[in-house]
Chain A
């Protein structure tokens, strides 16, 4: 069964590879979690809870990845 997540406004479909948590999603995307602020359905998820935040189909995920320089 396929599951969809909206990530930064774009629908992404997962088959057997639906990540078990927000942390697993970031790993799958190849993004360093230490540089990411994440919102699930408009609620900020603190980085310490990325691993324990279970994702469900239809959720709207906003990821802001910071890059260095200032």
Chain B
């Protein structure tokens, strides 16, 4: 048995109270990248009552993703945006969703995320993390961005922190643990970083976004 969008709304209003619910329900959050970080961030925001998500990725679900990314064995070969669209609809049937299957560049970040209240960087490669942070900070004032850097390996849960580097830039991670040969990405540590990001977004939406 499934619940309807109205039933999801009713329990969410009840959980959050009408004032916080209205803030989150009225918000739009962009999730750039749907790998280990983004595939955990997007569902957390959908569960929290964020009204609209804009999700972007250019990849497909592969077997090597299942160790840490929030997809299922029966979704192999699907575009990540398509698989995530299905998963999010199963979580919150009232969620408004915009999904783009493409590789982001500065121009598309500015155009596709123009309506977002907060942008979450969930990329894998460091030059791409640089690219979106620079684009948002230099060209999209006053929008905030929540980045991640340093989340490979296992253990050291408490080394992962949420730091505000400037008024508009929050960075999650330990800043040093890069993925690479011999240093894998694990569901636990990537997931901790992802939920730090989701938590920072919720805080921004409730306390700061008008």
Count contacts on A: residues with CB < 8 A to the other chain: 18
Distance between Cα atoms of A68 and B150 in the complex (Å) = 7
Partner of B149, one of A46, A47, A62, A66: A66
Confirm or deny: A37 has a beta carbon within 8 angstroms of a beta carbon on chain B: yes
Interface residues of B in 6-45 (CB under 8 A from A): 33, 35-38
Distance between Cα atoms of A41 and B60 in the complex (Å) = 41
Show the binding face of B for A, using Cβ within 8 Å: 33, 35-38, 122-127, 129-130, 133-134, 137-138, 147-152, 165-166, 169, 171, 173, 175-180, 185, 190
Q: Is the CB of A37 within 8 A of B36?
A: no
Nearest-neighbour CB distance to chain A for B70, whole angstroms, equals 13
8 pairs of A and B residues whose beta carbons are closest in the complex: A69-B179, A67-B178, A66-B129, A35-B126, A66-B126, A70-B124, A69-B152, A34-B127
Nearest-neighbour CB distance to chain B for A37, whole angstroms, equals 5
Q: Is the CB of B190 within 8 A of A37?
A: no
Show the binding face of A for B, using Cβ within 8 Å: 32, 34-37, 39, 42, 44, 46-47, 62, 64-70
20 A-B residue contacts at CB 8 Å? A35-B130, A37-B133, A39-B166, A44-B134, A44-B138, A66-B147, A67-B126, A67-B173, A67-B175, A67-B176, A67-B177, A67-B179, A68-B126, A68-B178, A69-B178, A69-B179, A69-B190, A70-B33, A70-B38, A70-B122
